[in-house]
Amino acid sequence: MASRTSADPLVVFSPSGKKGRFAAGTPLLQAARSLGVDLDSVCGGHAMCGRCQVDVVEGDLPKHDIVSSAENLSAIDEFEQQFLAQSHALPTRRLACHAKVRGDVAVDVPASSQVHRQVVRKPHEDHAINIDPVVRPCFVEVPEPDIDRPEGDLHRLLTALLQDWGLRELNVVPPVLRQLQSALRAGGRKVTVAIRNDAEVIAVWPGVRDRLHGIAVDVGSTTVAAHLCDLRSGDVLASAGKMNPQIRFGEDLMSRVSYIMSNPGAEAKLTAVIRETVNELIGDVCAEAGIDRDDIVEMTAVGNPIMHHLFLGISPIELGRAPFTLATNESVDVVASEMDISIHPGGHIYVLPCIAGHVGADTAGVMLAELPFDRDDISLIVDVGTNAEMLVGNRERLLAASSPTGPAFEGAQISCGQRAAPGAIERVRIDRESLEPRFKVIGNDLWSDDPGFADVLPAGGVTGICGSGIIEAIAEMYSAGIVLSNGNINGALAKQSARIVKDGTVYEYVLFDADPQISITQHDVRAIQLAKAALYAGVELLMKERGVERVDRVRFAGAFGAQIDARYAMVLGMIPACDLDIVSSAGNAAGTGARIALLDRKARPLIEEQVSRVEKVETATRPEFQDLYVAAMAIPHQDLGTQSDKAKRCR
Amino acid sequence: MASRTSADPLVVFSPSGKKGRFAAGTPLLQAARSLGVDLDSVCGGHAMCGRCQVDVVEGDLPKHDIVSSAENLSAIDEFEQQFLAQSHALPTRRLACHAKVRGDVAVDVPASSQVHRQVVRKPHEDHAINIDPVVRPCFVEVPEPDIDRPEGDLHRLLTALLQDWGLRELNVVPPVLRQLQSALRAGGRKVTVAIRNDAEVIAVWPGVRDRLHGIAVDVGSTTVAAHLCDLRSGDVLASAGKMNPQIRFGEDLMSRVSYIMSNPGAEAKLTAVIRETVNELIGDVCAEAGIDRDDIVEMTAVGNPIMHHLFLGISPIELGRAPFTLATNESVDVVASEMDISIHPGGHIYVLPCIAGHVGADTAGVMLAELPFDRDDISLIVDVGTNAEMLVGNRERLLAASSPTGPAFEGAQISCGQRAAPGAIERVRIDRESLEPRFKVIGNDLWSDDPGFADVLPAGGVTGICGSGIIEAIAEMYSAGIVLSNGNINGALAKQSARIVKDGTVYEYVLFDADPQISITQHDVRAIQLAKAALYAGVELLMKERGVERVDRVRFAGAFGAQIDARYAMVLGMIPACDLDIVSSAGNAAGTGARIALLDRKARPLIEEQVSRVEKVETATRPEFQDLYVAAMAIPHQDLGTQSDKAKRCR
């Protein structure tokens, strides 16, 4: 544009403020492109997609020393008129590809016409997601073939993509080669291609297609969740979850690995069932959103190291024995069909990197959702599942570890424990005097001592106690003096309350005296003590390594994190004592991370780099971990001082 | 090595003559590498593969001013001793990775220790093939994992490949990720990887593996042939052929395309059967060579445009109608599993480029085998099949065309025609006086008038006449005056010979009066006239376009080319008259081209570039082609002058 003269009309774009002089007759879209203004277009100026809508500013703009007027653009032609009428556009609206500069003009690019947008996230997510997906649609018109120029249609397509979109040296996946000619014929030589990473043509459709879809999958050991997203708006169009069918090979991760170790070749079976489940979820979300599987052009996935390996078809055997070696700690980018995942045949799957043998791509997802590496204050982020994966640090240093909490927090290995499902006790209160309990069950808003409680119980009645219920029960038992600091159930109270009964040599607390009877046993208290000690010791170790005595924010990630009441977590000594108001739920942060990696291409190199920077702390080989672990067995925990001491530990 | 002093020992390598000074203690292999000497090694100096064997030269070398002696190398240690004893090596032999420089020494690199070798080709192939395949084995020892350094085993492998082999930024295919850890465990952390194009890790095996295999496939419309090659020696270990099962959907190419046009989706069926056949052939050659499918790491394929498209899973519909547009004219490089071809799961298939809608990757293979673009003299290369594909030119300009000869040359559409198979008449002579014929059939060395001919006939007797038999029969009929120059069978001769009989309004010549009777009908003569006119006119058009009146060599490619007698081809006027001694068979040149692309990585960019340089002549749209075609209908052909004129047309 350097050769333009000062006599040429001046064009000013807001909100960017970018401006330049352009020869009369230049379309606004071309002016925007040459200035690097963020103005969307799929059809590349063919006036077909309607994405390049702008609003003309009328009047005097002293700052730019121009008088802007709609008169200074070419007249609206019949096509544009029709288009604008259909979309009920404002009177100021124009299609930038059709409106040509005739004099000085200022135009505003509305948010809906910007390529790079942000979507506001849910309440527990505290920053917006940039929308700049790795796959984007490009419309092109491909010249008719010519018998005297025998190059193939692919060559013609690539030439058109170079001319219209400046894309060069594009790789072309085989499915595109297969679909190209029928798409060209069906679209009258007009097609939309999906371009991945500006490097690869992964799909081709006849005519204009401006909506592409992606799916983010969180492959959990218990639950698999999928979120279908519109790659343009970033909207989640549908979500679905299913139990991980691998559970039939082993409830927890290590029992699945043991199964594979003792049944050579079984990893193929575990891989097949998890992929089948993901395919079913894809079917579910597509049905809900009314789209076709083939409309999904990109997938991202997170999961703990063992799920990560099994989903990728890698045997997790090496993760089941020291030194717990990952096959790869880097992100994996693979064609979906290679993994038997049914999305568009040219679609790819990006699997986030793992951090260490026990700290997986799910934690990478949490990092991406929470961005602790992008903050000055010190975060403690805990994702509690069968293992607890935890992060401590900030932009200077971020440490990660996994601690073997076992599945007690999820209600497993607890005498009356169960998963969080209707009928499970999730909230517990115990009267300090009478030692009588009251509780709530999932699926019912009433407390057990509210009138009519029994009438509104789920069909199966009260079936057990879930993770958050266990924590509250034991914390309340401690607060009521039923459980002592060393974890013993105080048998002396059996005289006071019929709730405390002897079972062999130890005591238990009867929470619900019906059929089945729901009790908290001495064994249950021990299981929770072990789990919380592992969690607390891991956090302590990371804080010591990081050289901090307190953290500025505590985020609980995961489904369990969303249910847990921070007060009770602190009473039990699951986390370092601190002000309750710095503790919050991060929601399903791993899944959110997968969604961010789906919607924002820049998130991928970012998380790859940050994961490589994370310092991994292996709890299993640190002698001091054992000491911290033993010390943390007490309730709340040994080094916990007075309330004022507690407060000091927080900012 | 620039910092070495003149006091350092001098090492001279023959036959390259490369030399340099190296510090005492430097292994010969390292010296060879730093000088760029072509010395093989798979294990990268671990003294495991035995590929770096060299012979020490003893005595005075005045040219290099040194006295070479085996004494000037480190002593042979136990391992090397064992290795050399096992391989029955010459006394002069050493392992370059084990022999360390102590003083001046000259060593000879025997051909068997060179990476880049040539294999001598068959008699009809007139240049050697360079052996420098796209996939090569690299042995590495991967460090043990370390619990405190949680990077994955892939990272360790890639680090080792960088350190030992200087390979960086390697892509890794998913199957390698899946097999890596079990290979590392089985091999005690020692593995061999297959590196493709110095850019990609496509396979991993435990321990040392120095033999990799590849397969070259010629996907013909009638026959599919496969050649299994040792990628190190270039040897063809096994070959196999099968009928193309697509024949059940249509005998010739166009009828298969018609079938697809009238049965939407049928292309998937045709693709499936051809791939299944290729998989069967792979099984056959592997069984013959005693190797496993997974030992094949690379495949190349050639075929005419329709076979090319169907093999790749692309609908050939656009090739069945004007303007005969290829989906792509470029080479295609695709993962074998993506095409359901069962070789090593990380193996790739390279499909040579097509030249035009009727001139396919088979012709590209012929070009690579014959290298007309690398010669000063003018070649005419003809590949006769259902269509005739032809090349005329030299290094300055090379032209290609396809001419619609139809299947008559292959015995189809001929009243008693059949494929070249036992029982088919392949040679014919007719006595000029008596007009009595004699002939030979495939599978029998005797002529029909030899005593005992009937006794040695194949089980089915004389079953028909194949392509070369038809050509000889009609050429002999012409020479005996039975067929006139305009192609009419001369009915006047019916009085002279009972062999010439009337059939309706036209005559036929009875070649074999038995059951079944084998005759050459007027219709047969017309069919051959049309075919040979198409061929001749195509050649003439190319020669005119190329501006040459004669060619320096004529090469007949393909199975038919190997059977045809050049004299008869010339009598009939299939090719321009010329000295018989410049006409020869190029053998299965398309298959040879596929083999070259398999064995020599440089052949790929070479043929891609040369194919893009070829000038394509579309016979169908050239008005002058019709004139040439009509003129070429006569036998031999209209513009053919006297014998002396004929001779002038040749050098």
DSSP A3: T
Q: What amino acid is encoded at B142 in this protein?
A: V
Q: Which residues of B touch A266 (CB under 8 A)?
A: none
Instruction: Say if the Cβ atoms of B153 and A328 lie within 8 Å.
Output: yes
**With 80 as the cut, is the pLDDT of residue B71 above it?**
yes
CATH number corresponding to B213-354: 3.30.420.480
Q: Look at residue A40 in the predicted model and tell me its pLDDT.
A: 84
Task: State the Cα–Cα distance between residues B299 and B240, nearest whole angstrom.
Answer: 15
**With 70 as the cut, is the pLDDT of residue B1 above it?**
no
Query: Tokens for B253?
Result: 């190419």
Q: Look at residue B651 in the predicted model and tell me its pLDDT.
A: 36
Interface test with B, best of A151, A173, A317, A625 (most B CBs within 10 A): A151
Nearest CA in chain A to B611: A151
Predicted structure pTM score: 0.85
**With 90 as the cut, is the pLDDT of residue B87 above it?**
no
**With 60 as the cut, is the pLDDT of residue B411 above it?**
yes
Element housing A464 (H / E): strand A464-465
Q: What does the pLDDT look like over B487-502, one tens digit per residue? A: 999 999 999 999 999 9
Q: What does the pLDDT look like over B622-649, one tens digit per residue? A: 889 999 999 999 988 654 333 434 433 3
SS (H, E, C) B573-619: CCCCCCCHHHEEEEECHHHHHHHHHHHECCHHHHHHHHHHHCEECCH
Task: State the Cα–Cα distance between residues B585 and B575, nearest whole angstrom.
Answer: 14
CATH 3.10.450.230 given to domain A134-206: no
Mean pLDDT of all residues in B584-609: 95
- In total, the C-beta contacts within 8 angstroms joining chain A to chain B are 141
DSSP A264: T
Q: What does the pLDDT look like over B328-351, one tens digit per residue? A: 999 999 999 999 999 999 999 999
**DSSP notation for A9-31:** PEEEEETT--EEE--TT-BHHHH
Task: Report residue B118's pLDDT band, with 50, 70 and 90 as the boundaries.
Answer: low
Nearest CA in chain B to A315: B178
Q: Which residues of A touch B329 (CB under 8 A)?
A: 150-152, 154-155
**With 70 as the cut, is the pLDDT of residue B397 above it?**
yes
Of B315, B330, B338, the CB nearest to A174: B338
Interface test with B, best of A159, A178, A179 (most B CBs within 10 A): A178
Angle, helices B467-479 vs B522-546, to 10°: value is 90
A134-206 against A214-354: fold identical: no
Task: Report residue B650's pLDDT band, with 50, 70 and 90 as the boundaries.
Answer: very low
Nearest CA in chain A to B339: A174
Q: Look at residue B5 in the predicted model and tell me its pLDDT.
A: 67
Nearest CA in chain B to A360: B150
**With 50 as the cut, is the pLDDT of residue B367 above it?**
yes
Pairing of strands B615-616, A129-131: unpaired
Instruction: Say if the Cβ atoms of B151 and A326 lie within 8 Å.
Output: yes
| CATH class in words for A10-113 | alpha beta
Q: Residues A639, A641, A647, A651: is their CA dihedral positive or negative?
A: negative
Q: CA end-to-end span of chain A, whole Å?
A: 55
Query: Tokens for B407?
Result: 């299947």
CATH number corresponding to A214-354: 3.30.420.480
Q: What does the pLDDT look like over B153-198, one tens digit per residue? A: 999 999 999 998 999 999 999 999 999 999 999 999 999 999 999 9
Q: Which of A569, A477, A589 is nearest to A524 (CA)?
A: A477
Instruction: Say if the Cβ atoms of A354 and B152 lie within 8 Å.
Output: yes
Residue with tokens 């004893």: B85
**With 90 as the cut, is the pLDDT of residue B120 above it?**
no
Q: Look at residue A647 in the predicted model and tell me its pLDDT.
A: 39
User: A245 CA to chain B: closest CA distance, Å?
Assistant: 22
Cα-based angle A623, A621, A615 (whole degrees, multiple of 5): 110
**Residues pairing with B296 in the sheet:** B213
**C-alpha dist (Å) from residue B219 to A429, B121, B225:** 77, 22, 7
Of A146, A323, A356, the CB nearest to B323: A146
Burial, A352: exposed, middle or buried (Cβ in 10 Å; 0-12, 13-18, 19+)? buried
For chain A, domain boundaries: 10-113, 134-206, 214-354, 369-406+527-648, 408-525
Task: State the Cα–Cα distance between residues A116 and A233, nearest whole angstrom.
Answer: 10
**With 90 as the cut, is the pLDDT of residue B389 above it?**
yes
Task: State the Cα–Cα distance between residues A504 and A187, nearest whole angstrom.
Answer: 79
Q: When comparing pLDDT for B117 and A292, which is higher?
A: A292
Determine phi and psi for A256, rounding to 5 degrees.
-70, -40
Q: What does the pLDDT look like over A592-605, one tens digit per residue? A: 999 999 999 999 99
Task: State the Cα–Cα distance between residues A26 and A9, nearest whole angstrom.
Answer: 10
Question: Which residue positions in chain A have pLDDT lower than 50?
Answer: 1-2, 639-651
**With 80 as the cut, is the pLDDT of residue B115 above it?**
no
Of B151, B178, B618, the CB nearest to A314: B178
How long, in residues, is chain A? 651
DSSP A599: H
**DSSP notation for A94-131:** EETTT-BB-S-EEEE--GGG-SSEEE---TT--SPEEE
Task: State the Cα–Cα distance between residues A425 and A512, nearest whole angstrom.
Answer: 10
Instruction: Say if the Cβ atoms of A181 and B356 lie within 8 Å.
Output: no
Q: Which residues of A touch B177 (CB under 8 A)?
A: 312, 314, 327-328, 332
Q: Which residues of A touch B154 (CB under 8 A)?
A: 327-330
User: A194 CA to chain B: closest CA distance, Å?
Assistant: 18
CATH 3.40.30 given to domain B371-404+530-648: no
Q: Look at residue B364 in the predicted model and tell me its pLDDT.
A: 97
Q: What does the pLDDT look like over B455-486, one tens digit per residue? A: 888 888 899 999 899 999 999 999 999 999 99
Q: Which residues of A318-337 are buried (b: 16+ CB within 10 A; e: fewer)?
A: bbbeebbbbbbbbbbebbbb
Task: State the Cα–Cα distance between residues A216 and A351, nearest whole angstrom.
Answer: 10
Q: How many CB atoms lie within 10 A of CB B102?
A: 16
SS (H, E, C) B76-113: CCHHHHHHHHHCCCCCCEEECCCCEECCCEEEECCHHH
Q: What does the pLDDT look like over B520-575, one tens digit per residue? A: 999 999 999 999 999 999 999 999 999 999 999 999 998 777 788 888 988 898 88
Query: Tokens for B148?
Result: 């405190």
Instruction: Say if the Cβ atoms of B181 and A318 lie within 8 Å.
Output: yes
Q: Residues A512, A516, A522, A526: is their CA dihedral positive or negative?
A: negative
Instruction: Say if the Cβ atoms of B330 and A145 lie within 8 Å.
Output: no
Instruction: Say if the Cβ atoms of A355 and B178 lie within 8 Å.
Output: no
For chain B, percent of residues with pLDDT exceeding 70: 95
Q: Look at residue A227 in the predicted model and tell me its pLDDT.
A: 96
Residues 6+ apart with CB under 8 A from A477: A430, A483, A489, A509, A520, A525
Instruction: Say if the Cβ atoms of B315 and A178 lie within 8 Å.
Output: yes
The number of angstroms, rounded, from the C-alpha of B165 to the middle of its chain's C-alpha atoms is 32
Q: What does the pLDDT look like over B603-628, one tens digit per residue? A: 999 999 999 999 999 888 888 999 99
Instruction: Say if the Cβ atoms of B323 and A618 lie within 8 Å.
Output: no
Of B154, B178, B314, the CB nearest to A177: B314
Nearest CA in chain A to B158: A328
Instruction: Say if the Cβ atoms of B327 and A181 lie within 8 Å.
Output: yes
